[in-house]
Each structure stands twice: as structure tokens, then as C-alpha cells.
Amino acid sequence: MFLQVKNLTKHFGGLLALDNLNLTVSQGEIVGLIGPNGAGKTTFFNLLSGVYQPDEGEIIFLHQRIDRILAHRITALGVSRTFQNIRLFAQMTALENVMVGQHCRTRAEVKEALLRTSGFQKEENEIQGKAKELLDFVGLLSKGNELARNLPYGDQRRLEIARALATEPKLLLLDEPTAGMNPVEAKELMSLIKKIREQGVTVLLIEHQMEVVMNISERIIVLNYGEKIAEGKPEEIQQNSLVIDAYLGTE
């Protein structure tokens, strides 16, 4: 199994943010994760990426427990993410942001940097070349030398995706990537996500725009108050009465 989550539970003080979550993801899928605000979606990503440790349960990624491992080790194992509230390196250029993303796939240490060995130059060229490729892939190459903080919102979201891809993930976690985008940008992003999957990356996607998530997900998982209340194909989820209640009902 590619990704397996067993009995995952997370409290914040008295609040049960994630309640005994079980799910699996197969390689090459695009899985949508939806649910009302505060349902625990971002918390789930934080546990997957090692930002928080779970109170109970297991996360098994490629036959390995990753729920007690530090975040940078998880990245090295092939899980990468973006953030709901964009977290770029604001004072670095777009290109440098993507170059930083390659940190765990490259090796030059201080000695090589100071002596400017031929190995260092070669690796540095490779890092730059790959960063440009990735910027091109998300459509930002011409803005490579701009500081991340000067980019418009939609560009920042795509830059964050490029940076995440630079870590060479097997599993990519996208937390509301279309938030703040207009419908045209959102549509472009959908085709971008499809292209990412075509390159063999499995995608887990938190998304608020129903049109987007129904369109590109093969499978959808619905959370409400930290619990999984439904799971299935987009058509099934649209018919599911529990889901309709969660979105329209009680609130």
C-alpha cells in the first residue's frame, strides 16, 4: 500500500481535531479531501508532513511508519506539501525558492561551497537548471528573478507548488491551492495538477471549490468534525445525504 492511515487521532487541548481517521491512498491517484471549515483537513496534512505528531494512530508510507519522524526526514522520504496560508521565502527570488526546495536532493556542504570545486559548480548548475524547468512547468519562468513577496497571489500559489515539486515528492499534499484564484486561474491549476499526476506523483488535494475537486479527483474523502463521514467517487459524494447535511444542514 502506498499510503495507509490507521486510527489517526489528534487533540488540541480539549478539542478533538482528528478523530480515529482511517484511510488509504494508492499510487498515482488524485484524492480530494473536503469538509466544512474546521473539519480537520489541514491538521491531517500537518500530521502527514510531520509538522505535528499524532496523539494516537499510525501513518505508513511505502511500508514505513512516518508518524514519529521529523518533518525534513519525511520530505526526504518523498512527501511534500503546500500551505493553506502561503509560506514562501518572501525575500528570496522565485528561482531561489525552488532552488531551496532541492536541498534534500543535493549535497554540497560548506567545504565545497568555499573551495568552489568543480563538483560544486556542476551541482549548482543542475540546481539552477532544474529550478528553471520547474518554474517553466508552472508558468513562472519569466518571473524567476522577482522576489516571492512581489508576486501576485495566484503566482505565489503556483510557486509554492513548484517549490514542493523540487523536493521530488512521490506524494504531494496541496492545501487549498485555488484559494484566492479567479475561475480562469483555478481552471489552469486543474490542468497543472493533472500534469503533475501524469509524471507519476500521487496527489492529495484539499479543496473548497466543488467544481474543481469534483472535476479532477478520482476519489473524494469527506471530513466533518475530525471524522471521516464519506468516501467515494465524485458522483457518489454529490448524492450522499450525510455530506449534503454537513455542508448545508446544521451550520
Per CB under 6 A, 15 contacts ligand ADP? yes
> Considering the complex, what minimum distance in angstroms separates the CB of residue 43 from Mg ion?
8
Residue 36: what residue type?
P
> Considering the complex, what minimum distance in angstroms separates the CB of residue 59 from ligand ADP?
16
Calpha distance 171→183 (Å, rounded): 26
Closest CA to 171 of 48, 68, 54, 72: 48
Task: Give the rounded distance of the alpha carbon of 56 from its chain centre.
Answer: 23
Calpha distance 98→86 (Å, rounded): 14
> Contact region for Mg ion (CB under 5 A) — 13-21, 52-60, 78-86, 241-249?
78-86
> Considering the complex, what minimum distance in angstroms separates the CB of residue 34 from Mg ion?
11
Per CB under 5 A, 178 contacts Mg ion? no
Enumerate residues 6+ apart whose C-beta is below 8 A from 173: 45, 48, 49, 79, 80, 81, 82, 204, 206
Cβ-contact 87, 73 below 8 angstroms: no
How many residues touch ligand ADP (CB under 6 A)?
11
Calpha distance 229→237 (Å, rounded): 10
Per CB under 5 A, 24 contacts Mg ion? no
Q: Which residue is nearest to Mg ion (CB)?
A: 42
> Considering the complex, what minimum distance in angstroms separates the CB of residue 172 from Mg ion?
16
Task: Give the rounded distance of the alpha carbon of 223 from its chain centre.
Answer: 17
Q: What residues line the site for another protein (CB under 8 A)?
A: 49-51, 70-72, 75-76, 80-81, 83, 87-93, 95-96, 99-101, 103-106, 108-110, 112-114, 116, 120, 123-125, 127-129, 132-133, 136, 141-142, 144-145, 147, 163, 166-167
* Binds ligand ADP (CB under 6 A): choice among 1, 12, 191, 249: 12
Calpha distance 251→247 (Å, rounded): 8
83 or 137, CB closer to ligand ADP?
A: 83
Cβ-contact 50, 74 below 8 angstroms: yes
> Considering the complex, what minimum distance in angstroms separates the CB of residue 151 from ligand ADP?
24
Helix or strand run (H / E) with residue 124: helix 118-137
> Considering the complex, what minimum distance in angstroms separates the CB of residue 184 from another protein?
24
Per CB under 5 A, 43 contacts Mg ion? no
Per CB under 5 A, 84 contacts Mg ion? yes
* Binds ligand ADP (CB under 6 A): choice among 23, 30, 31, 41: 41
> Considering the complex, what minimum distance in angstroms separates the CB of residue 82 from another protein?
9
DSSP 28-80: T-EEEEE-STTSSHHHHHHHHTTSS--SEEEEEETTEE-TTS-HHHHHHHTEE
> Contact region for ligand ADP (CB under 6 A) — 10-18, 127-135, 184-192, 235-243?
10-18
Per CB under 5 A, 208 contacts Mg ion? no
Q: Under DSSP, is residue 175 helix (H, G, I), strand (E, B) or coil?
A: strand
